[in-house]
Amino acid sequence: MKVLSYGEVNLRFTPPDYQLLEQTNQLTYQVTGTGVNLLTNLRNFGMQVSLLTTLPDNNIGKTAAAHIRKYGINDDFVSFNGNHIGSYFVELGYGARPTMVTYQNRLASAFCQAEPASYNIEAAVCTSDIIHICGITLLLNEKTRETALKLASCANQMGKPLYFDFNYRPSLNTEHSKAFVKEQYEKILFLADTVFGGILDITELLEIPVDKNRPISEQLQTGIAAFKAKYPVRNYVGTIRGSAVGEHSLSGFIAGEGFKVSREMQVEMLDRIGAGDAYAAGIIYGLSEGWSEERTLDFAVSNAVLAHTITGDVPHTNRKDVEALMNGKQQSLVR
């Protein structure tokens, strides 16, 4: 199975040893992005993966492409143009101190400035079995929106299932009304096979009402029922996070033919970013393997739990380790 993802590539800068940016002049960088994270993880599971993106036409773009290849992602559909890449600084939290993410400008990036016509979308879809689009592309600008919609529409025409990830961040929508954004999302929801989202995407963005006094899983069931009544989406998939003092937990759900929730797993967090993409990768992998929803959910949640124990956004997990955790057979030391 071949997966194609359309998404932005970013640079993440992290000071070492839990230091604040202000405390040191040392950084490590990592090449990241929702598409990058997802595809790396799928490749580790054994799938073939391609990224559709545009990188700067300079040493930074060249380096980003090298890292993408290192992750095992095919770079045949990576274009080079412009001179800017989106970046952000991560100051890793500890205990009560939150992880702090500070974004730099991304609208000037090679990705955001790339003309839709510059991509060979047909060829990319044609050689793939599954198409994935990150919803952030609907928020960025006209060019990324147009590209995303062309890609979705092409996938639809060629009969390739479209996985769409809401990733709706109100803070990125600075130019347009919510109505405008909702309209963009709806265009793609009519083309998607499987959607990754939460309760807020349904209630806040799509304005489907639910009773907020009910338990979260009930809200989800009601909301998704209304959602599915409106949009021809096969699966609505997401996570539920629990958090007591000093403890974090994670479960997942799939609303396919029915509504299934996984067990709740404890989470120890080394790095608080990237687990959502790991969850999505687990779902895509399970579904493409033809696993039951139960097994798929279990695998996806275990994968997300493992992803939290890995430095950086990119989830370098593999099937063997995920299944060991899922089956309660993980060890503390493997030699």
Hey, what long-range contacts does 28-31 have (CB within 8 A, 24 or more apart)? 30/67, 30/312, 30/313, 30/314, 31/63, 31/64, 31/67, 31/68, 31/71, 31/314
State which residue, 62 or 230, has the beta carbon closest to a second copy.
62
- Cα-Cα-Cα-Cα torsion 115, 118, 119, 121, nearest 10 degrees, comes to 90
Q: Does 225 bind a second copy (CB under 8 A)?
A: no
3 state DSSP class of 133:
strand
State the number of binding residues for a second copy (CB under 8 A).
80
Instruction: Select the span of 12-20, 140-148, 152-160, 181-189 touching a second copy (CB under 8 A).
Output: 12-20
Q: Are residues 2 and 50 in contact, defined by beta-carbon separation less than 8 angstroms?
A: yes
Nearer to a second copy, 212 or 335 (CB): 335
List the one residue from 46, 76, 103, 176 that touches a second copy (CB under 8 A). 103
With CA atoms as reference, report the closest residue to 141 among 109, 164, 99: 109
Q: Is the Cβ of residue 22 or residue 257 nearer to a second copy in the bound state?
A: 22
Rounded distance, CA 148 to CA 142, Å?
10
Using CB under 8 A as the criterion, what x/- string covers residues 177-216 for binding a second copy?
A: ----------------------------------------
Which amino acid appears at position 228 of this protein? K
CA 283, CA 154: separation in Å to the nearest integer? 23
Asked if 291 is part of the footprint of a second copy (rule: CB under 8 A), the reply reads: no
Name which position in 154, 233, 273, 284 contacts a second copy (CB under 8 A).
Answer: 273
Decide whether 125 or 275 has the Cβ nearer to a second copy.
275
Q: What is the DSSP string of 186-205?
A: HHHHTT-SEEE--HHIIIII
CA angle at 180 for the pair 176 and 184, rounded to the nearest 5°:
120
User: Among residue numbers 30 through 89, which ones bind a second copy (CB under 8 A)?
Assistant: 30, 58-60, 62-63, 66-67, 69-72, 83-85, 87-89
Select from 159, 215, 246, 258 the one that contacts a second copy (CB under 8 A): 246
Instruction: Work out whether 266 is an interface residue with a second copy (CB under 8 A).
Output: yes
Asked if residue 244 binds a second copy (CB under 8 A), the reply is no
* Min separation Cβ 89 and a second copy, Å: 6
Closer of 225 and 310 to a second copy (Cβ): 310
